[in-house]
Amino acid sequence: MSKRDYYEVLGVPRDASTDAVKKAYRKAALQFHPDRNPDNPEAEEKFKEATEAYSVLSNADNRRKYDQFGHAAFSSGGGAGFSDFSGFEDIFGDIFGAFFGTGGAARARSGRDLRYNLEITLEEAASGIEKNIVFSRATSCGDCGGNGAAKGTSPETCKQCNGAGQVRMQQGFFAVSRTCPVCSGRGQIVVKPCSSCSGSGRVSSETELSVKIPAGIDEGQRLKLRGEGEAAPGGGMAGDLYIVISIQPHKVFVRQDSEIICEVPITYSQAVLGGDTMVPTLDGEINMKIPPGTPTGKTFRLKGKGIVDMHSGRRGDQHVRTYIHVPTNLTDRQRELLEELSGIEGTPAANDSRTFFDKVKDLFD
Ligand SMILES: [Zn+2]
Ligand SMILES: [Zn+2]
């Protein structure tokens, strides 16, 4: 297939002004742009063709060569007329900038966000605490001030993208805008790299930070420390640091939001007669009264002994579930008393368990 004449492609006469060429291309580009014609190879082909024609005819030098030698003027390089598109980018940006929402300004890349997993105890979560954390992160190089250039030199503006960090139409025709491959989006080229950071502008350094953890924080919650992530390449915004909280399982307490739950053993005689028992709380041990006739599973509420709710500021309760501890190694005296008790106990009292036996009887009748 032979190449169509560039003037014919854009539908302009051979003596068309640069302005007319630009207008014609704009019309063709908007009509055949791949973004507006998804999965349409014919439009793709037309867009390619128009873009190529425009890239040549919009440049006075290239247009003169084309007028003189035709397509042969550009066939050797393989770049199909794209060997010189430094001015082309600007006009392309001008054409598409408003329409496709891609501005021409260099977008400063920001540093990566970091995540730090911090494990704390339930007591620390309940009271709040300040913790020192140590981690390594990329920070701005002190010797070059982060620009990556050796002492006494400074980075040069990237010629490929004119400092924009973005190029349009690098090889394929369909990348509307992409990161400049020459400067990796920085817009600048370090000619003589700083020896401390090898020109990256960043060095890895051990960082110690003091983190304030608010009382009431719960498993999986994150604290965001703005700007404490990695330094940006080329002096952009630093990333953020996320502290992700996990809470160690507690030996005694189970947490449920702002409530805590624990189980406390009582003796058989305490259960029957009542009495005092020591109960652990987040604030230390306290004495709790067991009323006479306390069965296994009876739960008592200790008001305000839970964990503070971060939103309301209200402190939750502690729930104490009792269970009767059954001893396995009795002293002789204990055994003697229990045997005596057993002898006079008889069957369980009517109001307790008779109903249970009644139910069992019903079951087999
Ligand atoms: Zn440096
Ligand atoms: Zn560049």
Q: 14: domain CATH number?
A: 1.10.287.110
For residue 204, is it within any domain? yes
Instruction: Indicate the pairing of strand 222-225 with strand 241-247.
Output: antiparallel
Are both 12 and 87 inside the same structural domain?
Answer: yes
What is the number of the ligand closest to the CA of 148? Answer: 1
Q: How far is the CA of 165 from the centre of ligand 1 (A)?
A: 20
Strands (E), 144-271: 156-157, 166-167, 178-179, 188-189, 202-213, 222-225, 241-247, 254-256, 259-266
CA 160 to ligand 1 centroid distance, Å: 23
pLDDT computed for residue 86 by the predictor: 35
Smallest CA-to-CA distance from 295 within 352, 361, 234 is with 352
Mean pLDDT along residues 304-316: 94
In this structure, is residue 183 part of a structural domain?
Answer: no
Ligand 2 centroid to Cα of residue 44, in Å, is: 27
Q: Which ligand is nearest to the CA of 193?
A: 1
Residues 316 and 274 placed together within one structural domain of the fold: yes
Q: How far is the CA of 170 from the centre of ligand 2 (A)?
A: 11
Q: Is residue 20 part of a domain?
A: yes
Given a cut of 80, whether residue 317 has pLDDT beyond it is yes
Looking at 232, 247, 262, the residue that finishes a domain is 247
pLDDT, one tens digit per residue, over 40-84 is 888 888 888 888 888 888 888 888 888 888 887 776 443 333 333
- Residues 114 and 321: their CA atoms lie apart, in Å, by 42
Chain-centre distance for alpha carbon 86: 38
- The residue among 155 and 72 whose pLDDT is bigger is 155
Question: Final residue of a domain: which of 77, 100, 123?
Answer: 100
Calculate the alpha carbon distances from 49 to 52, 118, 324 in Å. Answer: 5, 57, 88
pLDDT at 357 over 50: yes
Same domain, 223 and 130: yes
49 domain residue, yes or no:
yes
- Residue keyed to tokens 């350094």: 205
Considering 247, 264, 292, which residue would you say is the last residue of a domain? 247
- Torsion (CA) 130, 132, 135, 140 in degrees, nearest 10: 90
Pick the closest to residue 131 from 54, 71, 213, 194 (CA basis). 213
205 and 259 share a domain? no
Ligand with smallest separation from the Cα of 187: 2
Give residues whose Cβ lies within 5 Å of ion ligand 1: 141, 143-144, 194, 196-197
Do 242 and 272 belong to one domain? Answer: no
Residue 191 DSSP symbol:
S
- 295 in the same domain as 311: yes
Instruction: State the distance from the centre of ligand 1 to the C-alpha of 164, rounded, in angstroms.
Output: 22
Whether 162 maps to a domain, the answer reads no
Residues 150 and 88 in one domain: no
Residue 169 lies in a domain: no
**196 C-alpha to ligand 1 centroid (Å):** 5
Cα 129 to middle of ligand 2, angstroms: 47
Do 236 and 273 belong to one domain? no
- CA–CA gap between residue 150 and residue 198 (Å, rounded): 9
Tally of structural domains, the chain: 4
Residue with tokens 């742009």: 33
109 located within any domain: no
Q: pTM higher than 0.85 for the full model?
A: no
Q: How many helices (H) and strands (E) does the chain have?
A: 9, 15
Distance 138 CA to ligand 1 centre (A): 12
DSSP-assigned letters across all residues of 249-317: PPSS-EEETTEEEEEEEE-HHHHHH-EEEEEEETTEEEEEEEPSS--TT-EEEETT-S-B-TTT--B--
Q: Give me ligand 1 centre to Cα 306, in Å.
A: 52
Determine the distance separating the centroid of ligand 2 and the alpha carbon of 233, expressed in angstroms.
Answer: 14
Summarize pLDDT for 88-114 with one digit per residue, the tens. 334 444 444 333 333 333 445 688 899
**Cβ-count burial 73-109 (b if 16+ within 10 Å, e if not):** bbeeeeeebbeebeebbebbbebbeeeeeeebebeeb
Distance between Cα 89 and ligand 2 center (Å) = 12
Q: Please, are residues 245 and 120 in contact by the beta-carbon 8 Å criterion?
A: yes
The CA distance from 84 to 56, in Å, is: 9
Q: Which domain covers residue 289, as residue numbers? A: 254-326
Counting ligands in written order, the one closest to the CA of 150 is 1
Ligand in closest contact with the CA of 201: 1
Distance, CA 184 to ligand 2 centroid (Å)? Answer: 6
Ligand 2 centroid – CA 157 distance (Å): 8
Task: Tell me, yes or no, whether 142 lies in a domain.
Answer: yes
138 CA distance to ligand 2 middle (Å): 23
CA dihedral sign of residues 130, 132, 133, 137: positive
DSSP-H helix ranges across 79-172? 86-100, 122-127
Rounded Cα distance between 32 and 166, Å, is: 23
Q: Distance, CA 193 to ligand 2 centroid (Å)?
A: 17
Per-residue pLDDT at 334 exceeds 90: yes
Of 64, 56, 72, 68, the residue nearest 2 (C-alpha): 72
What CATH number did the domain enclosing 296 receive?
2.60.260.20
pLDDT range class, residue 131, cuts 50, 70, 90: very high
48/135 same-domain check: no
User: In this structure, are 72 and 91 located in the same domain?
Assistant: yes
Is residue 212 domain-shared with residue 263, that is, in the same domain? no
Q: 352 and 286: one domain?
A: no
